Chains A and B, each alone.
Chain A
Amino acid sequence: MRNTKKLITWMIWLLAFILIVFLLTRCNAKDNKTVKIVYVSKVLDDNNAFWFSLIEGTEIAAKEYGVELTILAPDSESDYEKQNDMIANAIALKPDAILLSPADNEKTLPAAKKIKEAGIKLILIDSQMAEPIEDALIATDNIEAGKKVGQLVNHLIKENSKIAVVSHVQGTSTAIAREVGLRIALGEDEKRIVDVVFSDSEYDKAYQVTKELLQVHPDVDIIAGLNEYSAIGAARAVRDLKLTDSIKLIGFDSSVEEIQLLESGVFDGIVVQKAFNMGYIGLETAIKILRGEEVATNIDSGSNIVRKDDIYTEENQKLLFPFR
């Protein structure tokens, strides 16, 4: 019967169609493009626990999310020109997103704008720029961190205390905000600050400027370092000048040396940023933005005060000694 044949052919076509659809869906499931992200950091320095942890955070996040991550960074934190070149390089790699820790508030801006012009998502980590062109910012609330430094300083203030501040790179958002926070926390005692010097995020320079500062202001008995380089450099200077008994220091961020200095009592206390978290959340945020999820545009990764006696509390040892 012709009708019967027609029905049977129809059924066979249906069967073939189902098989083809099945095979196609199988093939499509495996076709997934990997996301490419570049992180342009401020500095590549294995001695610096902050940047090391931050980069480690991005790397672990990249592994978690199966992202291809490239890390570019100059050798010095203050080398914004080198960083600008690296931003250009990063754009040339045509990534889906660029994570950036801008070296300078103003001078990084033109290079960063090119990222946006290239249609690449821009996520800032650690530092801001003069114009908020980024898709998201993940940083320590540096005013809050500065206030915590201020709290620690407040413990040390005696009647005739004089305070010196060793900051890192003049003009960076972090330096500005931390100093602002510090001054807010000090309140009335703000006038005790005799000088603010800049280390340009180099141990030697920090050491140098601290020595010079102590010659100019021998009455300073409290020194606040506003990042790891500045704090360590200042501490080394105080130690070498054998002034550890008369001058108390407040440190910022952590490294083995800084912890030893804290254990030994050179630092009275330190404020530690959650660098690992910053890096991890930074990359995570980039991925969420690329996936089109709603994200907070300004994420505070947080900071903690650690004093000599509570280095080895469960919480602080996790914070100070990244598990590797």
Chain B
Amino acid sequence: MTRKQGNLLFRFKSIRSTMIFFFTMIIAVALIVFLIISIRYTQENIMENSKYYTMQLIEQVNGDIDSYMDYMENISRLISKNKDVIDYLYDETATKEELDQIKTRVISQFQTISDARDDIYNIAVLSDNGRNVINDGKDQLNPYADIKQSEWYVKARQSNGIAVLSSSHVQNAIKDDYKWVVTLSCGIQNPNTGTIEGVLFVDLNYSAINNLCEGISMGSKGYVFIIDSQGRIVYHPRQTLLYSGLKSEKVEEALNGKQTNFTTVEGENSKLYTVYTSEKTGWTVVGVAYLSELMTGREETQLAYLITALFLIIISGIIAIILSSEISKPLKELANSMKAVQEGHFEHAEIEILEQNEIGMLSNSFNIMTQKIKELMEQIVREQRAKRKSELKALQSQINPHFLYNTLDSIIWMSESGKNQEVVLMTSSLAKLLRQSISNEDEIVSIYSEIGYTKSYLTIQKMRYKNKLEFEIDIKEDILNESIVKLVLQPLVENAIYHGIKYKEDGKGFIRIMGERVENDIVICIEDNGKGMDKEALNHIFDKKENKKSGGVGVNNVNNRLKLYYGSRYGLRFRSQVDVGTMVEVRIPVSSEEDSHYEKY
């Protein structure tokens, strides 16, 4: 049988596996495509949202810083326009006592301000004439520092009364104190001359800026830093490290745009920079967010997607298994049924039709077809049996004509010699024989009648062979009424005489017929003390060669008939020994309802 070989990869033994495989594959592929698209889309979405969100945050920080600086400018404007401050700095006419009084008032104002705001580190007003007020009045100017060179001082003098904001720097104006601050400074106009002859400066420590920047949530690793217009760091949560040169910040890129986003690619540490430059301060607030943190959701989402996908694939696998079983079950039943039919078991071939679909129709057709085949096969069996029966009849009707001539010859010979008694016996025996052979149409006869027939035959033969033949019949009574296929024993006896006793060299020939019941069988033995057979002859005893000369019914014929009629278990069995004799055993079943069964055909 040659089978068409499919693609090696997709060769399955059953429709079911094929269906499970393809169902699952289709679903898996669809899911994976879906998964990739959704993950990508989610990622882009998150990124867009993050950009928008951080920009909002940074704008807010920027706004906060602007308003903080506004507030500080207001304070500085208040101070710089304050009458006491101006009087103290520029009043040339006041006495020392008056000046001291004014100074006390200024100091108390300063105290009030710096008490209210702990982000103000220093407040001081300096005048060109050497008068100054610094904080609580106890601090002194650093005698060695050249304040006039400081950036905040220079700018304040140039700014015409408008407050200027410095970058982060070390304030060295006050003795014994060196602190990193942001300085807000403005010139103070001398009302007498109309020119700026003094400077106010307010040093801000980082607490307020720090609060503003730290208060913004940029994730656990993200942060906010501020650079001035020159790209100098004003504030950075890692200012110490930046100032030490141990870390660097992407200042250049941040300076390039006023409101922009950019990302750096550093693997795990990829960051999103959000830049916003304030018009007011000139400072640029930069928010740094770690992409890994923005995408925190991402990994979990991906995992969730993945697990859901796997779950769905498995579920769909299970459904595919169930579905394909459901579809392939009737097919499989059909296949099994066909196999049964192929092996000849029609009994269980009928398929229950559950659905009215294509498979149901197929099954229905199959059922009809099997039914037809079954009927046809039964018909064939019937015909065969009928044929055999007619064959049997033909076989049975063959009475050896030679025997008839010889017997008639014997009768003539005996009546010539006046042996009336014998003539009567022989003639009556022959008459019995003929009656049974010709007149009885039945195929089956009782053992009694079969024995009678055989006895008649033996009587004739005994008379013909005179003293050369003796016989004995011993049939148990209980089997006499059992039935047997007609013309079984006589041919065997004939065979025993013509092939056994006839060739016996000395002594009397003896035939014994015994019959008895052995369990459910009837066994009839025909024993002779003739020439016997060797093994070779015994092995060929059933070979189909009929003794044409004798015209009798062969052993083979008898055996075939028995087997045809009763089944292969039954028939003849020979046992023989050269110069001792032969025994043939006829085995038939006890007639029962089986009889009637066979009778049917």
Contacts and interface: CB of A to CB of B under 8 A. Distances in A.
A321 B314 contact: no
Given A4-B325, A263-B142, A323 B232 contact: no
**The 3 residue pairs across chains A and B that have the minimum distance between CB atoms:** A263-B144, A318-B243, A317-B170
A136 B25 CA distance: 58
A323 B144 contact: no
A18 B241 contact: no
B246 interface: yes
How many interface residues does chain B have, given as a range?
A: 20 to 34
Given A312-B150, A318-B244, A320-B178, 10 more contacts: A7-B318, A11-B317, A15-B311, A60-B241, A274-B244, A277-B246, A280-B246, A312-B172, A314-B232, A321-B179
A322 interface: yes
A33 interface: no
B145 interface: yes
Contacts of A143: none
A258 to B, nearest CB: 11
Interface of A: 1, 4, 7-8, 11-12, 14-15, 18-19, 22, 56-57, 60, 64, 256, 259-260, 263-265, 274, 276-277, 280-281, 311-312, 314, 317-318, 320-324
A276 B244 contact: yes
A18 B243 contact: no
B467 interface: no
Interface centre among A11, A19, A280 (most CB of B within 10 A): A11
B240 interface: yes
Contacts of B170: 312, 317, 320-321
Contacts of B476: none
Contact of B169 (A18, A64, A317, A322): A317
The secondary-structure label for the interface of chain A is helix
A263 B176 contact: no
Interface string B234-264: 0000011101111000000000000000000
B176 A256 contact: yes
Interface in B145-180: 145, 150, 168-170, 172, 176, 178-180
B24 to A, nearest CB: 10
A277 B245 CA distance: 8
Given A7-B321, A263-B144, A263-B145, A323 B239 contact: yes
B548 to A, nearest CB: 66
A18 B310 contact: yes
Given A18-B307, A260-B176, A321-B178, A1 B244 contact: no
Contacts of B144: 260, 263-265
12 contacts: A4-B321, A7-B317, A8-B318, A8-B321, A11-B321, A22-B303, A64-B241, A264-B144, A276-B246, A281-B246, A317-B170, A320-B170
Contact of A280 (B145, B178, B244): B244
Contacts of A311: 172
Interface centre among A7, A274, A314, A324 (most CB of B within 10 A): A7
Contact of B314 (A15, A265, A324): A15
Contacts of A12: 314
B435 interface: no
A304 to B, nearest CB: 11
Contacts of A14: 314
A321 B180 contact: yes
A142 B172 CA distance: 30
A184 B172 CA distance: 36
B180 A323 contact: yes
B183 to A, nearest CB: 13
Contacts of A60: 240-241
Interface in B171-222: 172, 176, 178-180
B240 A322 contact: yes
B381 interface: no
A277 B241 CA distance: 8
A198 to B, nearest CB: 30
Contact of A277 (B145, B244, B314): B244
Nearest to A262: B144
Nearest to B232: A314
A19 B303 CA distance: 11
A301 B110 CA distance: 44
Interface centre among B150, B169, B180, B246 (most CB of A within 10 A): B246
Given A263-B142, A263-B145, A280-B246, A11 B241 contact: no
B83 interface: no
B146 to A, nearest CB: 9
Interface centre among B143, B241, B244 (most CB of A within 10 A): B244
B322 A4 contact: yes
A274 B244 CA distance: 8
Contacts of A1: 325, 329
A244 to B, nearest CB: 13
Contacts of B240: 56, 60, 276, 322-324
Interface centre among A1, A256, A322 (most CB of B within 10 A): A1
Contacts of B232: 314
Nearest to A276: B244
Given A4-B325, A323-B243, A11 B178 contact: no
A53 to B, nearest CB: 9
Contacts of A263: 142, 144-145, 172
Contacts of A4: 321-322, 325
A66 to B, nearest CB: 12
Contacts of B245: 277
